[in-house]
Each structure stands twice: as structure tokens, then as C-alpha cells.
Amino acid sequence: MQEQNPPRKAEKLLAVKGMNDILPPDSALWETFEDRVRQLMRRYAFENIRTPIVEPTALFIRGLGEVTDIVEKEMYSFDDRLNGEALTLRPENTAGVVRAAVEHSLLYNSPKRLYYMGPMFRHERPQRGRYRQFHQVGAEALGFSGGEVDAELILMASALWRELGLGNVELQLNSLGQPEERNLHRAALIAYFEKNMDVLDAEAKRRLHLNPLRLLDSKNPAMQEVIEAAPKLMDFLGEASKAHLATVTAVLDANGLAYVMNPRLVRGMDYYNLTVFEFVTTELGSQGTICAGGRYDYLMEQIGGKHTPAVGWAMGVERVLELLKAGGSAIEPAPLDVYAITADAAALPEVMACIETLRRHGVTVQMHASTSEGMSSLKSQFKRADATSARFALVFGPDELANGSVTVKALRDASIPQRLHSLGELSVLAESLQSHA
Ligand code: ATP
Ligand code: MG
């Protein structure tokens, strides 16, 4: 009979460019961050919403606007061959949340404060702080028209910076006014840029008559001077728009939250009106915006609902975490209580019954498991224990098991003496393992 060949080693497959695996220990930072976000949202009475990652392509074209970076060049769009639907991996989630709110009449009896977290997809050039799959936390307040809710959202984001220990985050603020005001400004912008045609790049020329506001968002250094001197939307605002902005700034002032008015802040999507804002840091190079948002009073009707005022923001999780790490900021994951060491694999059933009881009492336990060679030596098990965050090693040796006890050894605090603990009193043991005294 022919000997069987071992399976040939296959070629290594890698993740899609610009899409990252989030691995331990980094993933612990993500989880801690997500916990903080959930606590924050609860304090501000925002409820969680989870919408699909894939939406009909038309939602984004209609919602974000045809002449935007996202829709023109960044979307992962595809045809579902099985039923010929045009679909897109969500590049952002405001449109999806609004779609869901309309579809399920979520606002039928009251406005809603909602939040989400999850992956978004944009086909951009990968670089620091810019990925093709990235994550956002987003907050959307649907059905609110007053500027105080714009301000509440801003206060909520800055509360998070405070709690995470992030300094050096600047709040930039602007008003995009209402559509009629924007039309006046638009005409002035077109006239102005037409006089400066020689400075415009090809994209700016193409967009000039389609969506001149987008020119203000250009990152082309050669155009910055002309953009700087362009007509400012602020000068076209009517009384009501100015009053809305004044409400926002009054709340910020009353809370001692500093901001910088940035008349060039226009944001990348067409759905915004009135308040827009960004939280910007200088510490992440050119990818300095960690959170951005504004009011979008016309989006709901744009996608088939009835007119409903709304405001929200989205935060780039990768950028916030990178900022945290750069600042050496201390959001430490909780340490393990126990690393369980067992001398002999034959004792594992009994040991695991003890460990399960401890876990039932809330103790966090990492168990040393056997390999194809059986249990490793006590010495190497201790070495493993030391490499974890565990505060105690529980040693289940033959002597301990024979007399119904376990040795408790502190791994980080030499002042705690080693002691023997009876297995008959596991709830007492559980309590002492969790007490941080
Ligand atoms: P930028 O000007 O940096 O391209 P944007 O205006 O396109 O940002 P938004 O659509 O407002 O960004 O998204 C909100 C936040 O999401 C951004 O401020 C940023 O923190 C984050 N973000 C956006 N695109 C990416 C990306 N490709 N990779 C990582 N984070 C991103
Ligand atoms: Mg972008």
C-alpha cells in the first residue's frame, strides 16, 4: 500500500489591505474603550441601535450626495449576483440609522437619542489613522430641533475626552446655515472661484458647478490660499440661523467648553445644515480629526421619511485609541485574579470543579491546560503565571488535593504570605481572591 503524503503546506493568506486584525493585548484596550462608551451613552440617555453593515447603494447616493468623496470614489459597492441588488458596505452609519428610523417609525411618539458602534468601509489610501475598514462610535439625536441638543452632543464627546485623559483636543465649530442661505453663498462661491480658475485643480474645476462647497474641503496645498479668502457662509446667515448658533455657543460657554469658530469647516457629506463641528488634535499628523458631526435636518425626507430635524456625530475609534496610546494614557484592562496551576493532568477534573465554583463567585481564572506532552513542570507553569496579569497563583499539587486544599500564592505582592486554603470553603476563598485590600 502506498504511504500517504502529509498535506502540502498551503500558501499563506493575508488580510485585505487597509483592513486590520485587532489582536490581544490591543483588543483589551478596545473592549475597555467600548465599555467606557456604553457607560457614557447611558449617562446621556442614548439608546443602542444596530443596523446592517450592508445597505442598498441608493441609500448612500441619496443620503450623502452624489458629488462627495465617499460616493464618488470610496464606496465598496457590488451587485448581489443572486438577486441583482446594488449593495454597498456602509461607509458611515448616519444614513443607515435614519433609514431604520423611517422604516420602523421609530419616532412616532417621541424623539430618540441613539448610538452605535461598529465597522465602516471606505476605499481610501491606507495610512496612519486612515484605513479601509475602520470603526466608528456614532451618536444621533433624531427629532430634536433646538441648538441645546447640538450642544449636548458636543458636551458628551468632550466628556469622553476628559474621562479618557485626552488633552489637546480642539473643538472647531461652524454653521452651514439653511439651504436658501447656502444657495446665495453658492452663487458667490462660484463667481469667486471662476475668477481664480488658474489655481483650481482638475477635481475642483469639475466640482465647481456641481458642488462648489466641496472645494472648501479640498486638501490640495496649492489651493489653500484661494480657499482661505473665499466668501464665507457665515456672512450669508439669516437671523434664525445665527440664533441657532447662539444657543449652541451659550450652552458651551455655560459649561466652560472652549471652541474655535472655523468658517471653512464644511464637512464631507451634503446632508449637513446649521451646526457643524469637529474635534481635532495636532498629535496624529494630518489625520487629526477624531470626531465630527453636525445637524442634518433634511436627511430624513431625502430618504423618503417626513421632515424631521436631527443632529449627530461620528468618532473614529482607531484615531482615538492611537491618541490614547501616544499619550501613554492609562486605561488599563482589569487584571486576572487567578492562574490555576495543576501538577498532574489526572487531577484536572477535580481542579476544574473548584475553578468553576470560583468563577461562579466572580473570580477571573486562567487555567493551565495540558499539551500533547501532558502537564508541563510546576516551574514552567509558574513562569506562565508570571507572564499573565494574574494576582494569585492557585497551586493544585498532589499534597494539596490529598488533603482537600489549595496553595494560594501572591504573584505580584511579596508582602502577602503564601497560605493553604481549604477547598471546603470556596466562597470564602473567592471573596479573598477578589478583595484588593
Ligand atoms: P477625513 O477628513 O479625515 O477623511 P471624514 O470627514 O471623511 O474624515 P467622517 O466621515 O466625518 O470623516 O467620519 C467621522 C470620523 O471617522 C472622522 O473624523 C475620523 O475620525 C473617522 N474616519 C473617517 N474615515 C476614516 C478612515 N478611512 N480610517 C479611519 N478613521 C476614519
Ligand atoms: Mg474622508
Cβ pair 273, 297 in contact under 8 A: yes
Ligand 1 atom 13, closest CA: 314
* pLDDT of 437 over the 60 cut: no
Point out the ligand nearest to the CA of residue 91. 1
* pLDDT of 269 over the 70 cut: yes
- Atom of ligand 1 at shortest distance to CA of 132? 27
Q: Could you tell me the distance, in angstroms and rounded to a whole number, from the CA of residue 410 to the centre of ligand 2?
A: 50
- Atom of ligand 1 at shortest distance to CA of 269? 10
- Atom of ligand 1 at shortest distance to CA of 74? 27
Written as nine digits, the cell of 399 is 499534597
Q: Exposed e or buried b for every residue in 188-217, given b needs 16+ CB within 10 A?
A: bbeeebeeeeeebeebbeebbeebbbbbbb
Three-state secondary-structure class, residue 89 = strand
Q: Could you tell me the distance, in angstroms and rounded to a whole number, from the CA of residue 137 to the centre of ligand 2?
A: 16
Give the pLDDT band (50/70/90) at residue 6: confident
Q: Biggest alpha carbon distance in the chain?
A: 93
List beta partners, residue 1: none
Cβ pair 192, 230 in contact under 8 A: yes
- The pLDDT tens digits of the residues spanning 8-62 come to 889 999 999 999 999 998 999 999 999 999 999 999 999 999 999 999 999 999 9
Q: Which CATH superfamily is domain 338-435 in?
A: Anticodon-binding domain (3.40.50.800)
- The pLDDT tens digits of the residues spanning 113-150 come to 999 999 999 999 999 999 999 999 999 999 999 999 99
Q: Could you tell me the distance, in angstroms and rounded to a whole number, from the CA of residue 212 to the centre of ligand 1?
A: 21
> Is 179 buried (19+), middle (13-18) or exposed (0-12) by CB count in 10 A?
exposed
Q: What is the mean pLDDT of residues 253-258?
A: 98
Written as nine digits, the cell of 124 is 481610501
Q: What is the mean pLDDT of residues 285-300?
A: 94
Give the pLDDT band (50/70/90) at residue 2: low
Ligand 1 atom 14, closest CA: 314
CA distances from 217 to 117, 192, 207, 278, 400 (A): 26, 16, 12, 13, 70
Helices 426-434 and 348-360, interaxial angle, to 10°? Answer: 60
pLDDT at 329: 66
What torsion, rounded to 10 degrees, do the Cα atoms 91, 95, 100, 103 define?
-130
Give the pLDDT band (50/70/90) at residue 1: low
Ligand 1 atom 5, closest CA: 268
Q: In what order do the strands lie in the sheet with 112-121?
A: 47-48, 112-121, 133-142, 310-316, 289-295, 273-280, 170-175, 260-261
Q: What is the mean pLDDT of residues 296-323?
A: 96
pLDDT at 67: 87
Residues of the chain with CATH 3.30.930.10: 26-177+237-326
> Which is higher by pLDDT, 6 or 33?
33
Alpha carbon 398 to chain centroid distance? 49
- Atom of ligand 1 at shortest distance to CA of 279? 18
pLDDT at 353: 97
Q: Could you tell me the distance, in angstroms and rounded to a whole number, from the CA of residue 316 to the centre of ligand 1?
A: 6
List beta partners, residue 367: 340
pLDDT at 413: 92
pLDDT at 417: 94
pLDDT at 291: 98
Quick one: what percent of the chain has pLDDT higher than 90?
A: 87
Among 176, 287, 291, 320, name the best residue to mutate to test ligand 1's pocket (greatest count of ligand atoms within 8 A of Cβ).
Answer: 287
Q: Could you tell me the distance, in angstroms and rounded to a whole number, from the CA of residue 269 to the centre of ligand 2?
A: 9
Ligand 1 atom 24, closest CA: 130
Cell 481564572 belongs to residue: 365
pLDDT at 71: 95
Q: Could you tell me the distance, in angstroms and rounded to a whole number, from the CA of residue 64 to the centre of ligand 1?
A: 14
Q: Could you tell me the distance, in angstroms and rounded to a whole number, from the CA of residue 265 to the centre of ligand 2?
A: 13
Cβ pair 418, 410 in contact under 8 A: yes
Q: What is the mean pLDDT of residues 357-378?
A: 95
Residues of the chain with CATH 3.40.50.800: 338-435
- The pLDDT tens digits of the residues spanning 47-103 come to 999 999 999 999 999 999 998 999 999 999 999 999 999 999 999 999 999 999 999
Q: What φ, ψ does residue 244 adopt, rounded to 5°?
A: -60, -45
Q: What is the mean pLDDT of residues 262-270?
A: 85
Distance CA(305)–CA(404), nearest Å, equals 68
Give the list of residues 6+ apart from residue 168 with CB closer than 8 angstroms, or none: 281, 282, 283
How would you classify the pairing of strands 338-342 and 365-367? parallel
Ligand 1 atom 29, closest CA: 130
* pLDDT of 435 over the 90 cut: no
Cis bond leading into 25, ω under 30°?
Answer: yes
- The pLDDT tens digits of the residues spanning 318-343 come to 999 999 998 876 677 788 999 999 99
- Atom of ligand 1 at shortest distance to CA of 69? 7
Written as nine digits, the cell of 216 is 472648501
CATH, range 26-177+237-326 = 3.30.930.10
CB atoms within 10 A of CB 425: 12
Cβ pair 280, 170 in contact under 8 A: yes
Mean pLDDT over the full length of the chain? 94
Q: What is the mean pLDDT of residues 411-415?
A: 93
Give the pLDDT band (50/70/90) at residue 279: very high
Which range has the top average pLDDT, 21-25, 156-160, 227-231? 156-160
List beta partners, residue 114: 47, 140
pLDDT at 284: 82
CB atoms within 10 A of CB 248: 26
Among 22, 134, 217, 220, name the best residue to mutate to test ligand 1's pocket (greatest count of ligand atoms within 8 A of Cβ).
Answer: 134
Residues with CB under 6 A from ligand 1: 92, 122, 124, 129-131, 134, 136, 268, 287, 289-292, 314, 316, 318-319
* pLDDT of 386 over the 90 cut: yes
Point out the ligand nearest to the CA of residue 289. 1
- The pLDDT tens digits of the residues spanning 160-170 come to 999 999 988 99
Long-range CB pairs of 20-25, under 8 A, 24+ apart, other chains included = 20/131, 20/133, 20/318, 25/333
Distance between terminal CA atoms of the chain? 68
pLDDT at 267: 85
Alpha carbon 75 to chain centroid distance? 19
